[in-house]
Amino acid sequence: MTETAGLLDLSRALVFASRAHANQRRKGAAQEPYVNHLIEVMDLVARTTDAADVDLMVAALMHDVLEDTPVTPAELSAAFGARVTRIVGECSDDMSLPKAARRAERLASMPGKSREARIVKTADVISNIRAVVLSAPAGWTAERKLAYLADCRALVAAGAEPNAHLQAIFERTAADAEAAIRKGGSLAIDGVPEAVHELENTIGQPVHKVYMANTSARPLTEEDLQHLGRLIASQFPSGTIEKGHAVYDGRMREVFLAYIRTDSPSAIVSFAQRVCLEFEQSFAGIEVGGRYIRVYADDTG
């Protein structure tokens, strides 16, 4: 594979992963976009293998795509090949099992995984340890963090040091994390002290309010409510619908308000266009961050 081809594959993988995990956030208080974690894992793999194996770096970006998104093994294989799919499959838990059983299976299966999968899994663990120290999920005590760290050490030990450079980073990260947890201090990443990870703007995802404006001013029915719910479910993981009243063009009318969290403005505009078409509206409204726009039916082509 040429260097250019490798860069193109990585670029394509980053776009694929970003889209697959588009509405996902890390579980910590900072609510970082999940893709940040995927990039960190890929970076660890690249730096500790001299970026010599493009498939391995792609697998690092994809390591949660089978476990946490609707992407299927067949779709992943069609996009990036059988080897990437095998590595990602080895890194994926059986989500049909209870949490404790998944943890036990993860540990028991680690020695039998391929070297490539153990490299990706070790990088994943390093990223997760950093996240637990810098921005743990709500309610995690020091004791719970230390118990998690012990589980991480056991998992990596079961993997039998697949890469010396990566193993050294893991051991340093684990030691620094334990000290930070016990002392309530910060953590250094690549020798640079880190404070708490925070979003650049506000905590959490933007919540968009989409108005089914009822431009015909007709009575809204239960079927209208169910129809709007189906539209939301077809595009987003969740949403909330309220029924309200609005006055415009000198007339009071019933409206539906859909509250949808997403990082994708284009997805919201697409949804508003579908609302226009499905409900035969001349426009739908979108509000986010105190700003409002109208999407008109004739914008849909």
Q: Which residues are catalytic?
A: 67-68
Cα separation of 238 and 11, whole Å? 29
Under 8 Å between Cβ of 187 and 131:
no
Cα separation of 3 and 79, whole Å? 19
Q: How many CB atoms lie within 10 A of CB 19?
A: 12
Cα separation of 113 and 231, whole Å? 41
Q: Enumerate the H helices of 96-163 as residue ranges.
A: 99-109, 115-134, 142-158
**Residue tagged 């201090």 (tokens):** 185
Under 8 Å between Cβ of 241 and 229:
yes
Among candidate residues 133, 170, 172, the one with its CA nearest the CA of residue 155: 170
